[in-house]
Amino acid sequence: MSQFPKLIASSVVRGSEKGESHGGVYTIDFSSQSVEQHIDWDTSDIEFAGRGWDRGLRGIEFTEDLIWIAGSDELFAYNKKFGLVDSYKNQYLKHCHEICRRENLMFLTSTGYDSVLVFDLTQRKFIWGVYVSRNGNQWIGQPFNPDTSSGPPFANHYHLNNVFVDKSGVYFSGLKTDAILFLDSEMHITEFCILPSGTHNARPFLDGVVFNDTAEDTLRYITREGKQRAFEVISFEVDQLDGTGLDTSNIARQCFARGLCAINNRFIAGGSSPSTVSIYDLANGTRLGSVNLTMDVRNAIHGLEVWPF
């Protein structure tokens, strides 16, 4: 698999306790089937109530000389050697999942506030946000200034967990949106396409959409005509797994599909638990190979991108 680029992945650990690792950041070389860990996430101020929440590092993006990685309520900037350069917080950034850069703007999902926030990479500050709500079948986008106290309430109605931005606009989705939502320049929200419940990493791709159908342990690519490629997430024998029975929230399980990036128009990389990254071939519908980081079932891939440096 020497034709594939190196990948970078972040992970979160379900049910970890104080003093234990809560995940990390890794580079993965498919040609040598090797993994290098660069960050081991372990802080004393992590909240420990429910689900993955504040544990671990999340979405990943890049600028010319920096690696940007989201924590639950903080955006971190690292240099190419993974030295921490700076970090940025905002009162409306909570339980952040994925991030996406478009030119000088970084878009972040604020799951706890049902919002998408925007960080200006030039000014190094949060400049605006949009609060997402629903009135019957109509989605509503309400812009707000993240520097004021008049922003949205803490709610998490839709569990917004993904954002993708291109020249056409902003696409975002969550476990409970049941659709990819599209935000235009006038803050109008419409449904781009319908999704099953419980998805991650949904985004437009080629002439359709690609996403982790997490509830069904499957990565899917579906065209506008309804043609589909469905890839079953890799699983392991139960006696191979570590960390079983240690997650008091009972959320951790194997085959939890999360983390996705396009290598090119044919090959997709997807993450799963216990932390494993697989490469899928859309042309022939096969999983070409996988690299496993750990057999601890609590440890799940979160962010996943092509390593650009």
Distances (CA, A) of 237 to 214, 233, 275: 19, 13, 15
* Within a domain: 1: no
Q: Is residue 296 part of a domain?
A: yes
Whether residue 258 lies inside any domain: the answer is: yes
Total number of domains in the chain: 1
CATH number for position 223? 2.130.10.10
For each of the chain's 309 residues, which pLDDT tens digit applies?
Answer: 668 999 999 998 865 445 455 679 999 999 899 999 999 887 544 444 444 444 679 999 999 999 999 999 999 999 999 999 999 999 999 999 999 999 999 999 999 999 999 999 999 999 999 999 999 999 999 999 999 988 999 999 999 999 999 999 999 999 999 999 999 988 999 999 999 999 999 999 999 999 999 999 999 999 999 999 999 999 999 988 886 765 555 567 899 999 999 999 999 999 999 999 999 999 999 999 999 999 999 899 999 999 999
Asked, for residue 122, whether it belongs to a domain, the answer is yes
Please give the pLDDT value at position 23.
Answer: 79
In a domain, 202, yes or no: yes
In the chain, the percentage of residues whose pLDDT exceeds 70 is: 89
* Contacts by residues 220-226 (CB-CB < 8 Å, ≥ 24 positions apart): 221/268, 221/282
Residue 210 lies in a domain: yes
**Which residues constitute the domain of residue 208?**
7-306
Domain contains 2: no
Q: What is the pLDDT of residue 41?
A: 80
Rounded to two decimals, what is the model's pTM?
A: 0.92
